[in-house]
């Protein structure tokens, strides 16, 4: 697992919160979004100081890795909110529903069906984001842009999932893609916009992100 000096992580947290507030203040009427601290590859020792500093939302991209470190952290801090931001195999859906509080990688019908069943079985109706392949990149996950509105409608109607927003990992020059995702969310009648990472969270905020997912700028390089 990667290492990071705890005091520097807490200092970086304050710095990022300041940058987020300044980015939001640049546009009239924008609220400061939720910061999801992406802790993948970092162990509990690196995470604990941020929890102590008041950080509540965390993101992980692998179910297996999250199961190794989060049950204990969550037991000690019941108000933490854990986001799954990586690809989810249907055979891990049961574990994911048991551990996570928000699913951000909902991207296909089979997964929607299995998640809905698991949430019902466990009586844990978790909020979900539909992941959109906003740059139509072959190597990236997500629903094609042109299928997004129909897929969101099916997730809500047919599967009864609580879809609260859209999530994307856009191409490098992300600005136009953030705008496109915001527009798509408006069309779908969704308020949640999970976009912006270490390199571009300020741009994402100015384009209406309601949550940003920041890893390396917080914990250091992986
Ligand atoms: C790793 C990851 C992030 C954080 O990326 P950084 O560039 O380290 O901030 C955000 N979102 C997803 C889906 C990720 O996998």
Phi, psi of 152 (to 5 degrees): -60, -45
Closest approach atom of ligand 1 to CA 38: 4
- Closest by CA to 131, choosing from 110, 115, 116, 152, is 152
Model confidence over 93-104: pLDDT tens digits? 999 999 999 999
User: To the nearest whole percent, how much of the chain has pLDDT over 70?
Assistant: 97
Angle at 33 between CA 115 and CA 2, to 5 degrees: 70
Cβ(142)–Cβ(131) under 8 Å? Answer: yes
**Exposure class string for 161-197: b at 16+ Cβ within 10 A, else e:** bebbbbbbbbeeebeebbebbbebbeebebebbbbbb
Residue 7: the pLDDT is 73
Q: For the chain, report the end-to-end CA distance as a whole number of angstroms.
A: 9
| 192-215 average pLDDT score | 98
Ligand 1 pocket by Cβ (under 6 Å) = 38, 40, 61, 85-86, 169, 197-199, 213-217
């Amino acid at each position: 697992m990667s290492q990071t000096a705890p005091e520097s992580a807490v200092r970086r947290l304050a710095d990022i919160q300041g940058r987020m507030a300044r980015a939001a203040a640049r546009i009239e009427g924008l609220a400061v979004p939720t910061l999801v601290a992406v802790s993948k590859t970092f162990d509990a020792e690196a995470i604990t100081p941020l929890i102590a500093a008041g950080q509540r939302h965390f993101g992980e991209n692998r179910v297996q890795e999250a199961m190794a470190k989060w049950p204990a952290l969550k037991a000690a801090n019941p108000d933490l909110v854990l986001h799954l931001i990586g690809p989810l195999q249907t055979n891990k859906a049961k574990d994911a529903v048991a551990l996570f509080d928000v699913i951000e990688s909902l991207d296909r019908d089979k997964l929607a069906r299995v998640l809905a069943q698991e949430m019902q079985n466990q009586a844990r109706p978790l909020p979900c984001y539909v992941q959109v392949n906003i740059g139509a990149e072959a190597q990236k996950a997500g629903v094609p842009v042109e299928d997004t509105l129909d897929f969101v409608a099916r997730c809500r109607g047919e599967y009864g999932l609580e879809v609260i927003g859209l999530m994307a990992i856009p191409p490098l020059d992300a600005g136009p893609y953030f705008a496109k995702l915001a527009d798509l969310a408006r069309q779908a009648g969704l308020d949640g916009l999970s976009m912006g990472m270490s390199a571009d969270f300020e741009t994402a905020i100015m384009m209406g992100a309601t949550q940003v997912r920041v890893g390396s700028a917080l914990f250091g390089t992986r």
